[in-house]
Structures are given as structure tokens and as C-alpha cells.
Amino acid sequence: MPSPKFDIQAQPGFSFVALFTFFALYLPIAALVVYAFNDSESLSMWGGFSTRWFVSAWNNTAVQDAAWRSVLIAVWSAVLATLAATMAALATTRSPNYRGLTFKYAMINQPLMVPEIVTAVALLIVFSRIKVWTGYSGLGYLILAHTAFCIPFAYLPIRARLESMDLTLERAAADLYATPWKTFRRVTLPLLRPGIVAGFMLAFVTSLDDVVITEFVKSGGQDTLPTYMLGQLRRETTPEINAIATVFLAVSVLIVVILFLLNRRRQ
């Protein structure tokens, strides 16, 4: 006689644990969003509904500069990380298994396994020597640092997409005398596009909200929006920080919705 199907929702305490987890995750975020519309200058005392802090953040030149710098770094880092991740994914999924392949997987995903502070200190040491040798101290170091950290985030969805693809069409293109480049451009790339888009957006969000690596690598006057917010929290805190964080949250939700719609359309 077959055993009854296990149903986790029927287990004692499931509803309590689920609700507790839900509120623990989202109640602080809800409080942050609510107090972004607080008319008072206090973070803990409600003074009425107002959008003054969104207007204040919008008109703040320091916020504008930091936001533009964050987007610029995130776009370049996501583009470079996605290119590198695509090539790495192709090399590790379109070649026969050999000794050392698992080691390459581990090296590509190394930033995910090593504490971020270790990566930040290592990049600080390397870039500090390069700055001394070259005299250059621009945003290129932040872009390279974010690229190195974002590669595994872009690599995982691209590799997953490649592993789920049927090789029949690629083999058929090769049988029809298509060159490897033409096969990639006409067959592989269109099928791989959802994974590339997902990898790019994941790398973009990861770069956009990074604090630790940016704090260690940046030079003077190169604050991104997260490091600017961290600096403000150390000085004078107003609901303007809540307003900036709320916009960050809205951007993240928008990116998730776009990814969901793209995947749904593909299916």
C-alpha cells in the first residue's frame, strides 16, 4: 500500500512559522517605506504624510552625483561581467568533461564563497600599487572591482540556460556547414538571450547596491549612492535616507518584474 503523500503545509506550526518569517522579512521594509513619507525630521516620530524627503533627495546635488556614479559603474560592470560570464559559460558547457573543470567552476564562483571583505582588501592592495605606478585614480578601479565581483552572479543564470538548451540545433547548423561564429550568432545567442538578460540584471543590481568593495576601493569624491547613504547614517539621519532606500527598493522590484515578464513571455 503506497504511503500517503507528505504535505508540509499540514505539519503542526507551519502557519505560525510561515507568518513569522514573512513579517520578520517584510515588516522592517514596510516601516522604512512608510517613514519615507514622514513629514517630521525624526525617523521614529510620525509627523504626518509628506513627500518632502523625496523632493529633497531629488534636489540634493550630492545624491544626484552619487546616483549617476552608481548607475554608470553598475552599467559598465554589468556589461563587462556579462561578457566575461558568457564566454566562461560557453567554455565550461560546450567542451567535454576533463580534469580541472570542477576547479574552474570553483574559481569562477570564488567571489560567492569568499567573504566580501576579503575580496575588498585584496582589491585594495592590488589597486593601491597600480595607483602608485600609474598615477591614475579614476572610476576604472571601481568598475574593474565590481566586474570581478559580479561575474559569478552573471555566470550562474547563463550557465543554467546553456545546460538546459538542446544541442540538436547547433549540431544541425554545423552539419549545414555553418561556421562556429555563425552558429553562435544565429542559433546559440538567440536561445541564450533570456539567460544573458537575467545575468546582466543580476550583475547590475549586485553592483548598484554594493557597499563593502566600493568603500575599500573608491578614491576621494567617488561616493556611490550606497556609500553616500552609509556616510549620512554616521552623521545626521533624516527620512531622506528612507526616501533614497525606497527608490532603491522600487528599482529592485521593477527589475524582478521585468525578469518575470521576460521569462513568462519566453515560456
How does DSSP assign 183-196, residue by residue? HIIIIIHHHHHHHH
Neighbouring C-alpha atoms within 13 Å toward the C-beta of 63: 18
pLDDT of residue 69: 92
State how many domains the chain has: 2
- Whole-number Å distance between alpha carbons of 107 and 76: 22
Decide if 136 contacts 64 (C-beta within 8 A). Answer: no
Phi/psi at 49 (5° precision): -80, 135
- Whole-number Å distance between alpha carbons of 85 and 101: 15
Output the domain CATH number for residue 126. 1.10.3720.10
- Whole-number Å distance between alpha carbons of 261 and 252: 14
45 and 68, same structural domain? no
- Whole-number Å distance between alpha carbons of 196 and 24: 33
123 and 241, same structural domain? yes
Range of the domain at 45: 13-50
Domain membership of residue 253 (yes or no) is yes
pLDDT of residue 169: 80
Radius of gyration of the chain (CA): 23
pLDDT of residue 49: 84
Per-residue pLDDT of the chain (267 residues; tens, 9 = 90+): 445 566 777 777 778 888 888 888 888 888 888 888 888 877 777 878 888 888 888 888 888 898 899 999 999 999 999 999 999 888 888 777 777 777 777 788 888 888 888 888 999 899 988 888 988 888 889 999 999 999 999 998 898 888 888 777 878 887 777 887 888 888 888 888 888 888 898 899 889 888 899 999 888 788 898 888 888 877 777 788 888 888 888 888 887 787 777 666 655
Query: Residue 38 pairs with which residues in a beta bridge?
Result: 49
220 and 158, same structural domain? yes
